[in-house]
Amino acid sequence: MLNYMYIDESGDLGVKDGCSKYLVISALLVKEPAKLDRIVKNMRRNKFKKELKKANEIKANKSSKRLIKHMLRELNEIKDKKVFHIIFDKKKLYSEFLRNNKHKQYNFIAGKLARNIVLEEVDVKVRIDKSKGKQLLREDFNKYFEKNLREKSSIHKIEIFHSYSHAWAGLQFADILAWSAYQKVCFNNPEYIELIDDQEAYSMW
C-alpha cells in the first residue's frame, strides 16, 4: 500500500532576538492525494474564487480566517488521513553545533518528527517544500529523514521529493497545518488546531 506524506514548517530557524520562539514542522499523511487536489480545485472554482483569483498557491499567512477553517474542516472529511506535529522550543536548544548550522538543525527536528510516525508494511512518497537549494543539502536531509522514519516502522520503499508548494495541494495543506499548530504554541490561539481530527503533537524535550 502506498502512503503520501507532505511536510512543511511554520516559524524560522533563527536563534537571535527577533526570531520566532518556536519552530513547528507538520506532516500530513494520506492515501489518496487526489482528494486534496479536489478540495483546492473546488475552493478556487466556487466558495473562494474571488480570494484566490490572483493567488498562485494557498498560504496560511496570506489567507482569510474563513478560508483556513474551511480547509481544515474539508480535510477532516478524509477519514484515513493523519496529521503529525513536532514542536521545537528554541530556548531548549543548547547545542552550539545545531545553533550555528540551520540545515543540521532542521534535519534534527524533522528526524524527531519522523521517529514518531509509525507505519506498517507500506511504501511512502514524502514530499517536502523545496527550501534547500543545493542538491547536497537535499541528499543530507533525505538520508537522515529516511533513517529516522524507518526506526520504528516497517516500510518497504521510501521516496523523498523536494517540490515547489504551488504545484502540490498536499504541501499547501501542510502549510495550513503547521501554521495552525504555530498559532497555538506561539500565540496561545487554539481556534485552528482544535478543528483538526486525527492529529498527534510532540514536543522536542
pLDDT at 10: 95
pLDDT at 19: 86
d(CA 106, CA 162): 14
Does the structure show a pLDDT above 70 at 145?
A: yes
d(CA 133, CA 135): 7
Sign of the CA dihedral with 59 first, then 202, 1, and 198 last: negative
At 201, give phi and psi (nearest 5°). -125, 140
d(CA 147, CA 149): 6
d(CA 149, CA 112): 9
The DSSP annotation for 141-172 comes to: HHHHHHHHHHSS-EEEEEEEEEE-GGG-HHHH
Read off the pLDDT of residues 150-165 as tens digits, 9 standing for 90 and up. 999 999 999 999 999 9
**What is the number of alpha carbons within 13 Å of residue 203 lying toward its C-beta?**
8
d(CA 14, CA 109): 14
C-alpha cell at 140: 543530507
C-alpha cell at 80: 484515513
Amino acid type, 50: K
Domain count for the chain, please give it.
1
Provide mean pLDDT across the span 114-125: 96
**Mean pLDDT, the chain, integer:** 94
Q: Considering the chain, what percentage of its residues have pLDDT values greater than 70? A: 99
Q: Considering the chain, what percentage of its residues have pLDDT values greater than 90? A: 82
Provide mean pLDDT across the span 117-134: 91
Looking up residue 51, the CATH number of its domain turns out to be 3.30.420.10
Provide mean pLDDT across the span 128-146: 89
Does the structure show a pLDDT above 70 at 205?
A: no
- Residues of the domain holding 92: 2-203
pLDDT at 91: 85
Read off the pLDDT of residues 163-182 as tens digits, 9 standing for 90 and up. 999 999 999 999 999 999 99
**176: exposed, middle or buried (Cβ count in 10 Å: 0-12, 13-18, 19+):** buried
Read off the pLDDT of residues 48-90 as tens digits, 9 standing for 90 and up. 999 999 999 999 999 999 999 999 999 999 999 999 999 999 8
Provide mean pLDDT across the span 22-35: 97
